[in-house]
Amino acid sequence: MKHKTLKTVLYIVLALLGVVTVFPFVWMVLSSFKTNNEIQSIVQTLLPQEAIVDNYLNLQQTFDFLRYFLNSIFIAVAVTVIVIYTSCLCGYVLGKYQFKGKNVIFGFVMMTMMVPWSVTIIPRYTMFMEAGLQDTYISLILPVMVSGFGIFMMKQNMESIPDELIEAARMDGSNEFQTFHKLVLPLCKNGISAIAIFQFLWVWEDYLWPYLMIDSEKKQLLAVGLTLFNGRYSTDYGGLFAATTISILPVIIVYVIFQKRFVAGVAAGAVKG
């Protein structure tokens, strides 16, 4: 009996929190079907009085959102794949090998996580300027190829792989590169999923760096595109709602696909730290 009330209370509280969490998204999606006058009118309703899709249609006409979208996906996927690989490689070496200086290197990697973007962005900006790499995608990929966070997560993940497995592979005569690619990588699916989600999101929402580096409108990314849109059509709230809806949906989809592995991956990486 006592359990039952407790259970009901728990459900109600969590459900309320869930509603609070989801409500802004619902409001955003519903508002993207409203006219601008309705959005800004003093009398407000949740549902659109007359639902329109013009906001989405106009978006493509006035602003090449599809292109920004594809650019962002391209960069986010490329960076995510590279980071996963470098994290796994460094994580494997740091997690499974014994050698002198290992702890120094690992400690150093941990320290780099503390360096704020505000310290590195100014010199990075001057470095890339001098190298003439502005307005290229290399400038977006190069500085984020290695992630201290990713190496840390993968090192923990790697340590949980039994040594016997690796030893057995070595006995079978496979060299380290084969072991790493054929045995170790597939064993780290969970960790990889966790990094994939984090990294994809970080690239997807990164704003300042692509904003500084990319000049051509055609190469621009979605997060910057959103601010460009707002700068140019600051009065078009309906368009802004439609644009934000478009930029939020893909990450949610990626997350829903990976989420099961993701939780397990985070558990293996972060929690045992």
111-140 residues in contact with another protein (CB under 8 A) are 112-127, 129, 132, 134-135
62-121 residues in contact with another protein (CB under 8 A) are 67, 70-71, 73-74, 77, 86, 89-90, 92-93, 97-99, 105, 108-109, 112-121
**Shortest CB 251 distance to another protein, Å:** 5
158-177 residues in contact with another protein (CB under 8 A) are 163, 170, 175-177
Is 199 a binding residue for another protein by CB under 8 A? The answer is no
Is 227 a binding residue for another protein by CB under 8 A? The answer is yes
Is 264 a binding residue for another protein by CB under 8 A? The answer is yes
169, 195, 222, 242: which one binds another protein (CB under 8 A) = 222
Is 226 a binding residue for another protein by CB under 8 A? The answer is yes
How big is the site for another protein, counted in residues (CB under 8 A)?
A: 119
SS (H, E, C) the chain: CHHHHHHHHHHHHHHHHHHHHHHHHHHHHHHCCCCHHHHHCCCCCCCCCCCCCHHHHHHHHHCCHHHHHHHHHHHHHHHHHHHHHHHHHHHHHHHHCCCCCHHHHHHHHHHHCCCCHHHHHHHHHHHHHHCCCCCCCHHHHHHHCCCHHHHHHHHHHHHCCCHHHHHHHHHCCCCHHHHHHHHHHHHCHHHHHHHHHHHHHHHHHCCHHHHHHCCCHHHCCHHHHHHHHHHHCCCCHHHHHHHHHHHHHHHHHHHHHHHHHHHHHHHHHHHCC
Is 5 a binding residue for another protein by CB under 8 A? The answer is no
**Shortest CB 57 distance to another protein, Å:** 18
44, 49, 60, 103: which one binds another protein (CB under 8 A) = 44
